[in-house]
Amino acid sequence: MGRLTPSPAMVPFVTATSRSPVLAGARAHVAAGLDDQGALVLADARGRLQTLVPREDVVRVGWSSSESRSFPLTPFGQEGAAWIETRQGTFVWPLNEWWPGHRYLHPDLMMRSSGFASLAARLDVPLASADSFLSGTPAPGDLVLVGLRPTRENRIWLGAEVAATIAVVLSFLMVAVTSWLTVRLRDASPFVIGENILCIALVCAGMTVSASCVEWLPVPTRRRGHEHPVSPRSPRRFARRACLWVDGTGLHLRDQLSVGMDFVTVASRSASGTELVSYVLRSRRTAGSLALVDRSGVERVTLPLTLWAPDETSRTRLFEVLDSAGLTKTKLPGPVPRPIRSLGPEFNRGLHIDAAAGYGALQTRMLAPSVRLIALSIVGVVFLRSDAGPALEPLQTELLVGVATASTVCSVVAFMGVLARLIAMSRSTSGTVREVRGSRNENAP
């Protein structure tokens, strides 16, 4: 892969829908397309491009299910994965990251709706039939997983987590060995060496945990600064932060956690099946909903009208904003499809919880291994601060003990901050859901 460049020249044929308000999400890849030279590139939230492969090296584009034996131990969702075969290898794009929040559809329809079919057409390469790799024939070349965050960075980080854990455990063993030598030789110098090694390991562990938690720091999000935004009318927690607006890049939706979905529209610079072209009203027994439909005929997200536009005035305002984005009001034939993502109080709630454990479309750095490092660090610092061993005479050792203590405290504070953020998000969504249920019960006959 090439280096990131600030060039904005790219047509977004494939767009990652879900966006995160944390630092890890701000560094994520958000779109894929072609640059001025026709090369296949990725773009981050800042518009910087990363070259994947030249156009002439692309062989074909295809799709495989999550059960394909060609992609072992790969966390695909039920949507499967798109792949782009090149002369050097095969790039694999999990659709649960690049076309998130949907259920399984026909592979051809998923490829059109996600934008990979349009990308194959622009690259002038064949679109292979569904599941051509399912028979067990290995994919040509090396497999490169193209997630929302750089795969190499994820591997390096996981390696650092494992290395820090091993280093702390081996340091405890070293302290045990040097303690035995100290008693046997009646000399404190081996024990001091063991404590120095343990201090260095604890510092590395603290830095690892702190860096992991830094990825969960929130970043400033531009809100309410757009022209003519539409906000939900109820409930209170949801209406305070949720928003819908349109700008030159497309249509944007945000929930009460500042996480949402971004779509390209017919008025923006795009030319693929993933762009939104129309909206349709769906009537149900309890309440109606408004579905946003892309060029492939797939309903991408729904807006419950009881939350967003309960009266005629707010409904007219909502239609005006959608019309300004170039969307047209249509009436789709046929029965109501299976439920898709509804932008309500529970929108993206599970996405945050999964990301905290290292799963989900956000692909944030894993926090679960940090628990082991924090536990080992606390035990190590307590041991160093106790009077179990001989007195520490060298000033270097005293300095290392102080640094190890400070590093452990910082890691504990950072980790507790992340937990507090997750608990606050859970309470926010659950509290909003209770408000919705309560209002429904009050309005019920």
pLDDT digits (tens, 9 = 90+) for 361-391: 454 555 666 788 888 888 888 888 776 544 5
Structure tokens at 12: 């977004």
**Three-state DSSP state, 273:** coil
Domain boundaries along the sequence of the chain: 14-33+57-150, 153-216+364-443, 236-346
Q: Is the model's pLDDT at 268 over the cut of 70?
A: no
267 — pLDDT class (breaks 50, 70, 90): low
Q: What percent of the chain stands above pLDDT 70?
A: 70
pTM, 2 dp:
0.74
Q: What is the mean pLDDT of residues 75-84?
A: 81
133 — pLDDT class (breaks 50, 70, 90): low
State residue 442's pLDDT score.
Answer: 45
CA distance 422 to 212: 15
State residue 76's pLDDT score.
Answer: 72
Task: Give start and end residues of each alpha helix (H) in 82-144.
Answer: 95-98, 107-114, 116-123
Instruction: List the one residue out of 102, 439, 30, 424 whose CA is nearest residue 256.
Output: 424
Q: What is the mean pLDDT of residues 189-202?
A: 85
- Average pLDDT over the chain, rounded to an integer: 76
